[in-house]
Homo-oligomer: A and B are copies of this chain.
Amino acid sequence: MLHTDIAAALPEAIEWRRTLHRCPQPAWLELFATAFIAEKLTAWGYEIKMGRDIIAGQQLLPPSADELARARAQALAAGASEQFLAPAAGGHTGVVAILKGDQPGPTVGFRFDIDANETAESADPGHRPAREGFASQNPGAAHMCGHDAHAAIGLLLAKHLAARRAALRGTVKLIFQPNEENLGGAAALVASGIIDDLDYLFGGHIGLALTEIGHICLNIHDFMALSRFEITYTGRPSHAALRPDQGHNALLGSCAAIANLYAIARHGLGASRINVGYHQAGTTWNVIPDKAYFRMETRGVSNEINAYMVEKAHEIIRGAAQMYGLGLDIKPAAVAVVAESTPDLVALGEKIAAGLPSIKKIVPSAAFNASEDFTILMQHVQSRGGRALAALFGTPVGGGHHNAAFDIDEQVIANAAEFYAAMLDAIQGDRP
């Protein structure tokens, strides 16, 4: 059946999206979005899980106290409620909202990522957010990937479901995930156990390969598995003229590591990647550098190929430490895997989509060609016997993703919410 209430509520959803767009906050700092979402969902009758209940295990690339304080001030200035900020205060952002139907049925999760990018937004009048007054008010942060729209999709779906709770069979979990951009949120959710009971998991992204309204794709391939690490070598400083022999040169260690990291043999079975994107070592001219720090990532078109890259990289990094007698710290910073949508769910989704008036074209397949931590959630649900589906929802994008002039057609918000609502119907048997 069609849920005309969703299309009707689009103007309200657009307001939500623009409110979020005005106060963008990057990974682990999404305090405003967290409080905004939690407040709404509480009002609509959802059970709310927040903070350490949903963000568990070792937090990857945690924020600093300074960053958190700044983010809190931004959130308060944007109107966040102290009550809903509190659980996320330590950077444990995000919300999982639970709605239990009165009748038995499956547990179905929908995931929406909510973090912004660490980049400035265009102030050009040709850029609609600037022109219409909802551009980022937080310096150095902006929603340039559409996660504000993702959150609005989640809220629109949430309001729709809350209104029809009586018809709900089983349980719905709306997962507003923090930190997708740094690929740290999904692993923390998994560690909390909050998605252990999902029978179904849905997630999606707007735009990317699909640049027209009404297009949808449920067959995404070429996700890349990814691992990121922070590497720190600790040596021993020494005066470079008087006693160079007494130094343990951390910079020479990291140079040896870096040169050889890129030289890891290409894998015979498929594409791999390696990069050291940032490196810093030493202090001043005449002192043997005793610290070196770098950020590296590996990727692979399969989880096995990425695991190969990680294993070889760690051997090289350890060998370089031994070369120069250095202390070594390897800290995981991000992870994504390769996953595929469950085939029968793809088939069901394409059938449902074909029946929706808002869907104009079902694109048979699309390459993702990058990494996305929704794959971690998919893998977790599938490994426990559940089904998972990743969708692309078409929209023209101004500027391109991560560009300062990124912009969307907000109609996509309703389109995605309608598809999710229809999939829930299909799984549960049509709700009246």
Contact = CB atoms under 8 A, between A and B. Distances in A.
Which residue of A260, A323, A369, A370 has the most chain B CB atoms within 10 A of its CB atom? A323
A295 B259 CA distance: 19
Contact of A285 (B258, B271, B334): B334
Nearest to A254: B255
A125 interface: no
A199 B151 CA distance: 63
B283 A267 contact: no
Contact of A289 (B241, B277, B289): B277
A249 B265 contact: yes
A318 interface: yes
**So how many copies of this chain end up in the complex?**
4
A297 interface: yes
A82 interface: no
A289 B278 contact: yes
Given A276-B251, A285-B228, A244 B259 contact: no
Interface in A223-254: 224, 226, 228, 240-247, 249, 251-252, 254
A275 interface: yes
Contacts of A258: 251-252, 255
Nearest to A255: B255
A275 B285 contact: yes
A327 interface: no
Contacts of A251: 258, 276, 279
7 contacts: A241-B275, A244-B266, A245-B308, A252-B262, A260-B323, A276-B289, A285-B333
Interface of A: 224, 226, 228, 240-247, 249, 251-252, 254-256, 258-260, 262-263, 265-269, 271-289, 292, 295-297, 299, 308, 315-316, 318-325, 333-334, 369-371
